[in-house]
Amino acid sequence: MRIILDTNVFISGIFFSGPPAQILKEWKKQSLQIILSKQILLEYQRVADELSIKYPQVDIAPIIELVTIYGQLIDTKGINIAVCEDPDDDKFIECAIAGKCNIIVSGDHHLLKLSGYKSIKVLKPLEFLEKCL
């Protein structure tokens, strides 16, 4: 199963427990594949760096390295979507379209409103675990 994780889900999975952490555990077991673009990866890194200052006991480098190696990096060049109320979220829709991925896992209300756009489901982390795993 191929999914896109919005930044908050990915980062929450690293720093905290709960459904986002369970999703990352499933990914580590290779039960699912994380699809991402260069823009998404850069945002993961930026936010993780910011949080690692606040939570120095969490070493994010191995997880970022794993997602860089084992995530499927998609080229979104030529796909320019402007459908999200928050334009910063458009990169997740662009990645889904370019990567032919129909699930984005997110708690972001801007993305959740777009569920169904171009047949892309946007599911909250717990909803994804209950419906898809």
For the segment 64-92, the average pLDDT, to the nearest whole number, is: 94
Residue-level pLDDT at 43: 96
Indicate the residue type of 1: M
CA dihedral 129, 118, 40, 133 (to 10 degrees): 10
Q: What is the mean pLDDT of residues 83-95?
A: 96
Tens digit of each residue's pLDDT (9 = 90 or more) over 94-132:
999 999 999 999 999 999 999 999 999 999 999 999 999
Domains of the chain, earliest start first: 2-132 (3.40.50.1010)
pLDDT at position 8 is: 94
Q: Which amino acid is at 66?
A: L
* pLDDT at residue 61 in the model: 84
Cα–Cα distance for residue pair 75/35, rounded to 1 Å: 11
pTM of the model: 0.95
Distances (CA, A) of 106 to 34, 47, 53, 55: 13, 16, 24, 23
pLDDT tens column, 34-43: 999 999 999 9
